[in-house]
Structure 1
Amino acid sequence: MRTLHFGLRVTDLERSLAFYTAVGYEVIGSVPDTPFGSLTMLKLPGDEFVSIELVHDAAGGNKAEADAGDRSVLNHFVIKVESMTATLGELAARGIDAEAPVSPDGSDDFLTSWLTDPDGNRIELVQWPTGHPDGFTSADWTQ
């Protein structure tokens, strides 16, 4: 098994598309009418597969606000970047504000930064240290 993508409920599809395309995501398809609302599939340029499905129900109001009391609401998701400096520069040029990067381990090559989408969803940017796999592995948890 593996995670394919996640569905992210949004209140204003056009505003969210403007944000996510400014971050660098590409729209690769959509399904206009489902029981959830319209679905818009996004992927990053270097990815082969969809990683986010924007879910918008124009008639249903703000489901994200209705779910706010539900502890299963999204906390954050993470995007790997090759260069934090270059990425933050590109985002700033597109009008996207991000927090100043910090290093979880005090090094110069393991950096994280945060930004927030129009619906308040938090996105963590991660620049892994040189030689680190593309994601967490069991090696990250061994002492």
Structure 2
Amino acid sequence: MKQKIIRKIAHVCIFARDIDATAEWYSRVLGFEKVFNFTRDSRVFGYYLDAGGDTHIEVFENAEAEYSKRNQINHICFELVNMDEAIAHIRDCGVEASAKSNGCDDTWQSWITDPNGVRIELFEYTPKSAQFTGGDRIAHW
């Protein structure tokens, strides 16, 4: 049996032309609540919405987003069982994986791309992860 490296989908990231209207829609229509915001220069430009359990919708402002057959979903994120083992396995498969880094939301992250160009975020929570502790986070990217 193959070694399991993925625990589950952690979040799906979408671009929104109007992040306030998007948050209101997801709250009103689906009952999602904000968990935390991403800020830059003291301005909110993104946030996490609770999609049930410990899965989320990540929303980032992108006024130029085109809603056609592309650009609706920015990336898919998989929660890993063990980041270091997963990166080693992925690299052993001949796939380039970015170095493990700690994101502004206090999660371990690495990035890969599937054969179709779909960006995949590899993700491991820490006890300090904003998804559990809340509180706005200042983005440095």
TM-score by length of 2: 0.42
TM-score by length of 1: 0.42
The structure that has the greater radius of gyration is 1
Larger RCO: Structure 1 or Structure 2 (Cα < 8 Å, ≥ 6 residues apart)? 2
Judging by fraction of residues, say which structure has more strand.
2
